[in-house]
Structure 1
Amino acid sequence: MELHPIQEGRTTVLSPTGRIDHTHADAFKLALDPHLAMCTRDGAPLVLDFSGVDYISSIGLRALMVAIKQVKPQGGRMVLAALQPLVLEVFTISRFDMLFEIFPDRAAALAAVGGAA
């Protein structure tokens, strides 16, 4: 899965597309891993722009949980932005909305992490 990384100031924005389900979750995790290593206290914050993600399954949620469990002890910051209504509903039902900072759009997420140039 391609994450289309873009630098916005010091913040890295990743924009996955499609479905993050049993077919694509491993590719999503592999594509995300190198960015997690850089997401440290002194490194680049991560914004995951989910505007192009139309579905996420439990295995996709697991990949995100593993990611945030790596980032937090490193002192990094990873936030989510622009979740589609169905994806946001999955996050709410599973209570993942309590695990992640979720912003309505990319601009709000960038402003929150100080990534706006």
Structure 2
Amino acid sequence: MTVEIASENLENGVIRIVLTGRLDMQGAQEIDMKFTALAATKAAPVIVDMSGVSFMASLGLRTLLSSAKAVAKRGGKMVIYSPQPNVIEVLKVSGVSNLIPIKDDLPSALAEVLS
């Protein structure tokens, strides 16, 4: 497996998803259904810890965008936090950063998603 996914429910009703590894074509395919199930099936705010993601391809972007849209349709919000510099660059160049807020750390991600 090129990418791992874990999740936890935080006290304030926020779902925290942690991604680790390479979110390349294979990695995105491996986690797509699980990520969507975690992020998009409840009307809850979602934060995505990307500190452990070392690479991101276009399929990974699609997974993030489709999940963010599904979260928004249910009245929630999705925020990405702690991406590595090369991943931030991909998120900015692709325009994802205009659609999904990106924060530096967990406290600022929580503040954003709960605002």
Sequence identity (%): 32
5+ residue gaps, structure 1, are: none
After superposing on structure 2, the runs of 4+ consecutive aligned residues of structure 1 that deviate more than 3 Å are none
5+ residue gaps, structure 2, are: none
Q: Secondary structure at the match of 2:6?
A: coil
1:33 matched residue in structure 2? 36
Larger relative contact order (CA 8 Å, sep ≥ 6): 1
TM-score normalised per structure 1: 0.86
Aligned match for 1:20, one of 19, 23, 45? 23
Shift of 1:2: 3.8
Between Structure 1 and Structure 2, the one with more strand by share is 2
Question: Which whole-Å deviations, capped at 9, do the CAs of 1:24-82 have from their partners, x for residues lacking one?
Answer: 111221121222101x2xxx211000011111001110111111221212211111000
* Cα separation, 1, equivalents of 2:51 and 2:17: 11
* Cα separation, 1, equivalents of 2:17 and 2:35: 8
TM-score normalised per structure 2: 0.88
CA RMSD of aligned residues (A): 1.6
